[in-house]
Amino acid sequence: MKSALSLAREEVKRLKPCVHGGEVWDVVNKTGLSREDVLDFSSNINPLGPSQKAIESIKSNFGQIPFYPDPDSTALREAIAHHFKGINRRNVIVGNGSTELIYLFADVFMDKGDVALIPAPTFSEYERAAKKAGARPKHIKLSPSFQVEPAIFMREMRGAKVVFLCNPNNPTSILTSRTALLEIIEKALEENTLVFLDEDFTEFVDEEKRFSFIGEVERYPNLFVLRSFTKFFGLTGLRAGYGIASEEIIKILSTTKTPWNVNCLAQVATVAALDDEEHSNRTSELVKGERTFLARELSGISVFKVYPADANFFFIGIRQSGFTAAQLKEKLLEYGVLIRDCTSFAGIDEYYIRVAVKTRRENEKLLEALKKILGKDGDSSKRR
Protein backbone atom coordinates (compact mmCIF):
# COMPACT_ATOMS: atom_id res chain seq x y z
CA MET A 1 0.00 0.00 0.00
CA LYS A 2 1.14 3.57 -0.65
CA SER A 3 1.96 5.74 2.34
CA ALA A 4 -1.02 7.48 3.91
CA LEU A 5 0.65 10.82 3.22
CA SER A 6 0.72 10.15 -0.52
CA LEU A 7 -3.03 9.44 -0.46
CA ALA A 8 -3.95 12.69 1.29
CA ARG A 9 -5.25 15.69 -0.65
CA GLU A 10 -2.53 18.11 -1.76
CA GLU A 11 -4.23 20.99 0.05
CA VAL A 12 -4.04 19.07 3.32
CA LYS A 13 -0.42 18.03 2.85
CA ARG A 14 0.59 21.66 2.42
CA LEU A 15 -0.99 22.77 5.71
CA LYS A 16 1.39 23.70 8.52
CA PRO A 17 0.66 23.11 12.21
CA CYS A 18 -1.27 26.02 13.65
CA VAL A 19 0.00 27.98 16.66
CA HIS A 20 -2.42 29.32 19.26
CA GLY A 21 -2.39 30.82 22.71
CA GLY A 22 -3.50 28.74 25.67
CA GLU A 23 -0.70 26.20 25.28
CA VAL A 24 -0.67 25.60 29.03
CA TRP A 25 -0.56 21.82 28.80
CA ASP A 26 2.49 21.96 26.54
CA VAL A 27 4.21 24.24 29.06
CA VAL A 28 3.29 21.91 31.92
CA ASN A 29 4.75 18.92 30.07
CA LYS A 30 7.97 20.73 29.13
CA THR A 31 8.69 22.56 32.40
CA GLY A 32 7.30 20.28 35.06
CA LEU A 33 5.23 23.14 36.46
CA SER A 34 1.74 22.27 37.64
CA ARG A 35 -1.28 23.70 35.81
CA GLU A 36 -1.99 25.88 38.85
CA ASP A 37 1.54 27.33 38.78
CA VAL A 38 1.13 28.82 35.28
CA LEU A 39 -0.55 32.21 34.88
CA ASP A 40 -1.87 32.06 31.34
CA PHE A 41 -1.88 35.50 29.70
CA SER A 42 -1.67 33.89 26.25
CA SER A 43 -5.38 33.07 25.91
CA ASN A 44 -7.97 35.84 25.99
CA ILE A 45 -10.59 34.27 28.26
CA ASN A 46 -12.95 35.77 30.83
CA PRO A 47 -10.77 36.22 33.95
CA LEU A 48 -13.75 35.35 36.18
CA GLY A 49 -14.27 32.02 34.44
CA PRO A 50 -17.72 30.72 33.50
CA SER A 51 -21.04 31.68 35.05
CA GLN A 52 -21.96 29.70 38.15
CA LYS A 53 -25.40 29.24 36.63
CA ALA A 54 -23.73 27.50 33.68
CA ILE A 55 -21.78 25.22 36.04
CA GLU A 56 -24.94 24.31 37.95
CA SER A 57 -26.72 23.62 34.68
CA ILE A 58 -23.97 21.16 33.72
CA LYS A 59 -24.25 19.37 37.07
CA SER A 60 -28.01 19.07 36.87
CA ASN A 61 -27.89 17.62 33.34
CA PHE A 62 -25.39 14.78 33.81
CA GLY A 63 -28.36 12.46 33.24
CA GLN A 64 -28.37 13.44 29.56
CA ILE A 65 -24.95 11.90 28.91
CA PRO A 66 -26.21 8.41 27.92
CA PHE A 67 -28.31 9.95 25.12
CA TYR A 68 -27.49 11.60 21.80
CA PRO A 69 -27.64 15.40 22.04
CA ASP A 70 -30.14 17.37 20.00
CA PRO A 71 -28.38 17.42 16.59
CA ASP A 72 -29.86 20.84 15.80
CA SER A 73 -29.18 22.49 19.20
CA THR A 74 -32.75 23.79 19.00
CA ALA A 75 -33.09 25.18 22.54
CA LEU A 76 -29.74 26.94 22.28
CA ARG A 77 -30.56 28.45 18.90
CA GLU A 78 -33.86 29.70 20.32
CA ALA A 79 -32.02 31.21 23.29
CA ILE A 80 -29.53 32.97 20.99
CA ALA A 81 -32.33 34.37 18.80
CA HIS A 82 -34.17 35.60 21.91
CA HIS A 83 -30.97 37.15 23.29
CA PHE A 84 -30.43 39.32 20.22
CA LYS A 85 -34.01 39.90 19.07
CA GLY A 86 -34.79 40.71 15.45
CA ILE A 87 -33.66 37.25 14.33
CA ASN A 88 -35.10 33.76 14.67
CA ARG A 89 -33.51 30.38 15.21
CA ARG A 90 -33.40 29.82 11.44
CA ASN A 91 -30.78 32.59 11.37
CA VAL A 92 -28.55 30.67 13.80
CA ILE A 93 -26.13 27.74 13.51
CA VAL A 94 -24.19 26.30 16.43
CA GLY A 95 -20.75 24.74 16.20
CA ASN A 96 -18.23 22.80 18.24
CA GLY A 97 -16.44 26.04 19.03
CA SER A 98 -16.44 28.95 16.60
CA THR A 99 -13.43 27.43 14.82
CA GLU A 100 -15.55 24.56 13.51
CA LEU A 101 -17.78 27.13 11.83
CA ILE A 102 -14.80 28.85 10.18
CA TYR A 103 -13.86 25.56 8.52
CA LEU A 104 -17.47 24.66 7.71
CA PHE A 105 -18.01 28.02 6.03
CA ALA A 106 -14.85 27.64 3.92
CA ASP A 107 -15.70 24.04 2.98
CA VAL A 108 -19.20 25.02 1.85
CA PHE A 109 -18.47 28.26 0.01
CA MET A 110 -14.88 28.02 -1.23
CA ASP A 111 -13.55 25.91 -4.06
CA LYS A 112 -10.17 25.24 -5.62
CA GLY A 113 -8.68 28.50 -6.90
CA ASP A 114 -11.15 30.83 -5.13
CA VAL A 115 -9.63 33.91 -3.50
CA ALA A 116 -10.07 34.79 0.18
CA LEU A 117 -9.12 38.31 1.31
CA ILE A 118 -7.62 38.17 4.79
CA PRO A 119 -6.12 41.00 6.87
CA ALA A 120 -2.54 40.67 8.07
CA PRO A 121 -2.16 40.18 10.95
CA THR A 122 -5.35 38.42 12.06
CA PHE A 123 -6.56 35.05 13.40
CA SER A 124 -4.65 32.32 11.54
CA GLU A 125 -7.51 29.83 11.17
CA TYR A 126 -9.11 31.86 8.35
CA GLU A 127 -6.05 31.22 6.19
CA ARG A 128 -5.87 27.54 7.14
CA ALA A 129 -9.57 26.99 6.45
CA ALA A 130 -9.28 28.63 3.03
CA LYS A 131 -6.21 26.58 2.14
CA LYS A 132 -7.84 23.36 3.30
CA ALA A 133 -10.74 24.07 0.96
CA GLY A 134 -8.28 24.57 -1.92
CA ALA A 135 -8.73 28.35 -2.02
CA ARG A 136 -6.00 30.97 -2.27
CA PRO A 137 -5.58 33.33 0.70
CA LYS A 138 -4.67 36.89 -0.26
CA HIS A 139 -3.34 38.91 2.66
CA ILE A 140 -4.26 42.58 2.90
CA LYS A 141 -1.73 44.33 5.11
CA LEU A 142 -3.17 46.58 7.79
CA SER A 143 -2.05 50.19 8.13
CA PRO A 144 1.13 51.03 10.15
CA SER A 145 -1.17 51.56 13.15
CA PHE A 146 -2.84 48.18 12.42
CA GLN A 147 -6.13 49.64 11.18
CA VAL A 148 -8.31 48.12 8.45
CA GLU A 149 -8.22 50.36 5.38
CA PRO A 150 -11.54 49.94 3.51
CA ALA A 151 -10.27 51.45 0.26
CA ILE A 152 -7.65 48.72 -0.09
CA PHE A 153 -10.12 45.92 0.63
CA MET A 154 -12.59 47.41 -1.82
CA ARG A 155 -9.91 47.72 -4.50
CA GLU A 156 -8.95 44.05 -4.10
CA MET A 157 -12.54 42.82 -3.90
CA ARG A 158 -13.13 42.07 -7.59
CA GLY A 159 -12.98 38.33 -8.14
CA ALA A 160 -12.68 37.48 -4.43
CA LYS A 161 -15.07 34.84 -3.08
CA VAL A 162 -14.84 35.66 0.64
CA VAL A 163 -13.56 38.47 2.86
CA PHE A 164 -12.58 37.43 6.39
CA LEU A 165 -12.62 40.14 9.06
CA CYS A 166 -12.21 40.00 12.84
CA ASN A 167 -13.64 42.83 14.95
CA PRO A 168 -12.05 43.64 17.36
CA ASN A 169 -9.11 42.12 15.56
CA ASN A 170 -6.95 39.36 16.99
CA PRO A 171 -4.06 39.86 17.85
CA THR A 172 -4.24 43.67 17.72
CA SER A 173 -7.33 44.22 19.94
CA ILE A 174 -8.29 47.13 17.65
CA LEU A 175 -11.93 47.82 16.76
CA THR A 176 -12.76 48.71 13.15
CA SER A 177 -15.47 51.37 12.88
CA ARG A 178 -18.98 50.49 11.83
CA THR A 179 -18.66 52.90 8.89
CA ALA A 180 -15.51 51.19 7.60
CA LEU A 181 -17.06 47.72 7.86
CA LEU A 182 -20.24 48.91 6.18
CA GLU A 183 -18.24 50.18 3.20
CA ILE A 184 -16.60 46.76 2.82
CA ILE A 185 -19.84 44.79 3.25
CA GLU A 186 -21.75 46.91 0.73
CA LYS A 187 -18.95 46.72 -1.83
CA ALA A 188 -18.81 42.97 -1.30
CA LEU A 189 -22.55 42.76 -1.93
CA GLU A 190 -22.05 44.51 -5.29
CA GLU A 191 -19.25 42.07 -6.18
CA ASN A 192 -21.16 38.92 -5.06
CA THR A 193 -18.50 38.41 -2.38
CA LEU A 194 -19.27 36.83 0.99
CA VAL A 195 -18.18 38.56 4.20
CA PHE A 196 -17.22 36.42 7.19
CA LEU A 197 -17.25 38.80 10.19
CA ASP A 198 -15.79 37.35 13.39
CA GLU A 199 -17.20 39.16 16.44
CA ASP A 200 -15.83 36.73 19.03
CA PHE A 201 -14.43 39.53 21.21
CA THR A 202 -17.26 42.05 20.79
CA GLU A 203 -18.72 41.52 24.27
CA PHE A 204 -15.49 42.82 25.81
CA VAL A 205 -15.76 46.20 24.06
CA ASP A 206 -16.95 49.06 26.27
CA GLU A 207 -20.69 49.52 25.93
CA GLU A 208 -20.45 53.05 24.53
CA LYS A 209 -18.25 51.79 21.65
CA ARG A 210 -19.78 48.36 21.13
CA PHE A 211 -21.79 47.49 18.02
CA SER A 212 -22.68 44.38 16.04
CA PHE A 213 -23.89 43.46 12.58
CA ILE A 214 -26.06 40.61 13.87
CA GLY A 215 -29.21 42.66 13.29
CA GLU A 216 -28.16 43.31 9.68
CA VAL A 217 -27.95 39.75 8.34
CA GLU A 218 -31.26 39.81 6.45
CA ARG A 219 -30.38 43.19 4.95
CA TYR A 220 -27.00 41.83 3.80
CA PRO A 221 -27.49 38.28 2.45
CA ASN A 222 -23.71 38.03 1.87
CA LEU A 223 -22.89 38.44 5.58
CA PHE A 224 -22.06 35.77 8.17
CA VAL A 225 -21.40 36.90 11.78
CA LEU A 226 -19.43 34.61 14.09
CA ARG A 227 -19.67 34.56 17.90
CA SER A 228 -18.26 32.30 20.61
CA PHE A 229 -18.95 31.03 24.12
CA THR A 230 -15.20 30.55 24.62
CA LYS A 231 -14.03 34.09 25.32
CA PHE A 232 -16.53 36.27 27.17
CA PHE A 233 -18.54 33.40 28.64
CA GLY A 234 -15.47 31.39 29.67
CA LEU A 235 -16.85 28.00 28.58
CA THR A 236 -13.60 27.28 26.78
CA GLY A 237 -13.30 23.54 27.33
CA LEU A 238 -16.90 22.82 26.34
CA ARG A 239 -16.34 24.07 22.75
CA ALA A 240 -19.39 26.01 21.64
CA GLY A 241 -19.72 28.82 19.13
CA TYR A 242 -22.41 30.11 16.82
CA GLY A 243 -22.97 31.92 13.58
CA ILE A 244 -25.76 34.25 12.48
CA ALA A 245 -26.69 34.88 8.86
CA SER A 246 -29.57 34.89 6.39
CA GLU A 247 -31.82 31.84 6.51
CA GLU A 248 -30.45 30.77 3.13
CA ILE A 249 -26.83 30.69 4.36
CA ILE A 250 -27.77 28.94 7.60
CA LYS A 251 -29.80 26.31 5.76
CA ILE A 252 -26.93 25.21 3.51
CA LEU A 253 -24.43 25.25 6.40
CA SER A 254 -26.80 23.23 8.62
CA THR A 255 -27.26 20.64 5.88
CA THR A 256 -23.50 20.06 5.65
CA LYS A 257 -22.37 20.32 9.29
CA THR A 258 -21.24 17.30 11.30
CA PRO A 259 -24.15 15.53 13.07
CA TRP A 260 -24.33 15.90 16.88
CA ASN A 261 -21.52 18.46 16.75
CA VAL A 262 -22.37 20.15 20.08
CA ASN A 263 -22.54 17.93 23.16
CA CYS A 264 -25.49 17.91 25.54
CA LEU A 265 -23.69 19.64 28.43
CA ALA A 266 -22.41 22.43 26.20
CA GLN A 267 -25.95 23.05 24.95
CA VAL A 268 -27.46 23.50 28.42
CA ALA A 269 -24.49 25.42 29.84
CA THR A 270 -24.51 27.99 27.05
CA VAL A 271 -28.24 28.62 27.46
CA ALA A 272 -27.67 29.28 31.17
CA ALA A 273 -24.65 31.50 30.46
CA LEU A 274 -26.63 33.69 28.07
CA ASP A 275 -29.25 34.17 30.77
CA ASP A 276 -26.81 35.18 33.53
CA GLU A 277 -26.77 38.97 33.14
CA GLU A 278 -25.20 39.49 36.56
CA HIS A 279 -22.10 37.50 35.60
CA SER A 280 -21.89 39.30 32.25
CA ASN A 281 -22.07 42.70 33.96
CA ARG A 282 -19.41 41.74 36.51
CA THR A 283 -17.16 40.57 33.67
CA SER A 284 -17.58 43.82 31.74
CA GLU A 285 -16.83 45.93 34.81
CA LEU A 286 -13.73 43.92 35.72
CA VAL A 287 -12.30 43.93 32.20
CA LYS A 288 -12.91 47.65 31.76
CA GLY A 289 -11.17 48.50 35.05
CA GLU A 290 -8.25 46.12 34.61
CA ARG A 291 -7.74 47.09 30.97
CA THR A 292 -7.34 50.71 32.12
CA PHE A 293 -4.92 49.63 34.85
CA LEU A 294 -2.83 47.46 32.53
CA ALA A 295 -2.80 50.09 29.78
CA ARG A 296 -1.30 52.60 32.22
CA GLU A 297 1.22 50.19 33.73
CA LEU A 298 2.34 48.56 30.48
CA SER A 299 2.70 51.96 28.80
CA GLY A 300 5.03 52.92 31.64
CA ILE A 301 7.52 50.30 30.44
CA SER A 302 9.71 52.46 28.26
CA VAL A 303 10.79 49.73 25.85
CA PHE A 304 7.20 48.70 25.04
CA LYS A 305 4.95 50.11 22.33
CA VAL A 306 1.46 49.37 23.65
CA TYR A 307 -1.33 49.64 21.08
CA PRO A 308 -4.83 50.84 22.09
CA ALA A 309 -6.95 47.91 23.24
CA ASP A 310 -10.70 47.57 22.63
CA ALA A 311 -10.97 43.89 23.62
CA ASN A 312 -9.64 42.01 26.67
CA PHE A 313 -6.00 41.83 25.55
CA PHE A 314 -3.06 44.03 24.57
CA PHE A 315 -0.88 43.94 21.46
CA ILE A 316 2.63 45.12 22.29
CA GLY A 317 5.69 45.88 20.19
CA ILE A 318 8.87 44.93 22.07
CA ARG A 319 11.59 45.73 19.52
CA GLN A 320 13.37 48.12 21.92
CA SER A 321 13.44 45.57 24.75
CA GLY A 322 16.46 43.65 23.46
CA PHE A 323 14.36 40.48 23.30
CA THR A 324 12.44 38.76 20.56
CA ALA A 325 8.92 37.64 21.45
CA ALA A 326 10.12 34.04 21.80
CA GLN A 327 12.95 35.08 24.13
CA LEU A 328 10.72 37.21 26.34
CA LYS A 329 8.18 34.40 26.49
CA GLU A 330 10.88 32.00 27.73
CA LYS A 331 12.10 34.50 30.34
CA LEU A 332 8.58 35.02 31.67
CA LEU A 333 8.02 31.27 31.95
CA GLU A 334 10.78 31.27 34.59
CA TYR A 335 8.29 33.27 36.68
CA GLY A 336 5.35 31.02 35.81
CA VAL A 337 3.86 33.56 33.37
CA LEU A 338 2.80 32.54 29.86
CA ILE A 339 2.31 35.15 27.11
CA ARG A 340 1.53 34.88 23.40
CA ASP A 341 4.47 35.13 21.03
CA CYS A 342 2.83 36.68 17.94
CA THR A 343 5.56 35.65 15.49
CA SER A 344 3.26 33.09 13.84
CA PHE A 345 0.77 35.78 12.72
CA ALA A 346 1.13 36.81 9.08
CA GLY A 347 2.22 40.36 8.41
CA ILE A 348 4.37 41.02 11.49
CA ASP A 349 7.88 40.12 12.60
CA GLU A 350 9.25 38.51 15.77
CA TYR A 351 8.95 41.59 17.98
CA TYR A 352 5.30 41.50 19.01
CA ILE A 353 3.53 39.88 21.95
CA ARG A 354 -0.06 39.65 23.16
CA VAL A 355 -1.16 39.60 26.79
CA ALA A 356 -4.67 39.09 28.16
CA VAL A 357 -6.42 41.18 30.78
CA LYS A 358 -6.83 39.18 33.97
CA THR A 359 -7.61 39.92 37.64
CA ARG A 360 -5.69 42.60 39.56
CA ARG A 361 -3.64 40.02 41.49
CA GLU A 362 -2.68 38.21 38.27
CA ASN A 363 -1.99 41.44 36.38
CA GLU A 364 0.32 42.61 39.15
CA LYS A 365 2.25 39.33 38.93
CA LEU A 366 2.72 39.86 35.19
CA LEU A 367 3.98 43.40 35.78
CA GLU A 368 6.29 42.26 38.58
CA ALA A 369 7.83 39.59 36.33
CA LEU A 370 8.30 42.06 33.46
CA LYS A 371 10.03 44.56 35.74
CA LYS A 372 12.39 41.89 37.04
CA ILE A 373 13.32 40.95 33.47
CA LEU A 374 13.43 44.42 31.91
CA GLY A 375 14.43 46.54 34.88
CA LYS A 376 12.12 48.60 37.05
CA ASP A 377 11.43 51.26 34.40
CA GLY A 378 11.69 48.91 31.45
CA ASP A 379 15.21 49.96 30.48
CA SER A 380 16.54 47.01 28.49
CA SER A 381 20.11 47.87 29.54
CA LYS A 382 19.20 46.90 33.10
CA ARG A 383 17.55 43.58 32.30
CA ARG A 384 20.61 41.57 33.30
Integer Cα distance of 204 and 34 in angstroms? 29
Integer Cα distance of 7 and 33 in angstroms? 40
The predicted pLDDT at position 220 comes to 97
pLDDT digits (tens, 9 = 90+) for 87-140: 999 999 999 999 999 999 999 999 999 999 999 999 999 999 999 999 999 999
pLDDT digits (tens, 9 = 90+) for 315-333: 999 999 999 999 999 999 9
pLDDT mean over 370-378 = 82
3-state secondary structure of 139: strand
Q: Is residue 378 scored above 90 in pLDDT?
A: no
The predicted pLDDT at position 20 comes to 62
Is there a contact between 202 and 167 (Cβ–Cβ < 8 Å)? Answer: yes
The 10 Å CB-count burial string (b at 16+, else e) for 249-276 is bbeebbeebeeebbbbbbbbbbbbbbbb
Integer Cα distance of 41 and 365 in angstroms? 11
Identify the band that residue 37 occupies on the pLDDT scale cut at 50, 70 and 90: confident
Q: Which residues lie below 8 Å from residue 31, measured CB to CB, with a gap of 6+?
A: 333
In 10 A of CB 25, how many CB atoms? 10
| Mean pLDDT, rounded, of the chain | 92
Integer Cα distance of 120 and 21 in angstroms? 18
Identify the band that residue 383 occupies on the pLDDT scale cut at 50, 70 and 90: very low
pLDDT digits (tens, 9 = 90+) for 155-210: 999 999 999 999 999 999 999 999 999 999 999 999 999 999 999 999 999 999 99
Identify the band that residue 56 occupies on the pLDDT scale cut at 50, 70 and 90: very high
The predicted pLDDT at position 298 comes to 96
Instruction: Give the residue ranges of DSSP H helices in the chain.
Output: 4-7, 10-13, 24-31, 52-60, 74-84, 98-109, 125-132, 150-156, 178-190, 247-256, 264-275, 277-299, 325-333, 360-374
The predicted pLDDT at position 381 comes to 44
Integer Cα distance of 282 and 53 in angstroms? 14
Q: Is residue 17 scored above 80 in pLDDT?
A: no
How far is Cα of residue 81 from the mean position of the Cα atoms in its chain? 22
3-state secondary structure of 186: helix
Domains and CATH numbers, the chain: 4-49+278-373 (3.90.1150.10), 66-275 (3.40.640.10)
The predicted pLDDT at position 372 comes to 94
Identify the band that residue 216 occupies on the pLDDT scale cut at 50, 70 and 90: very high
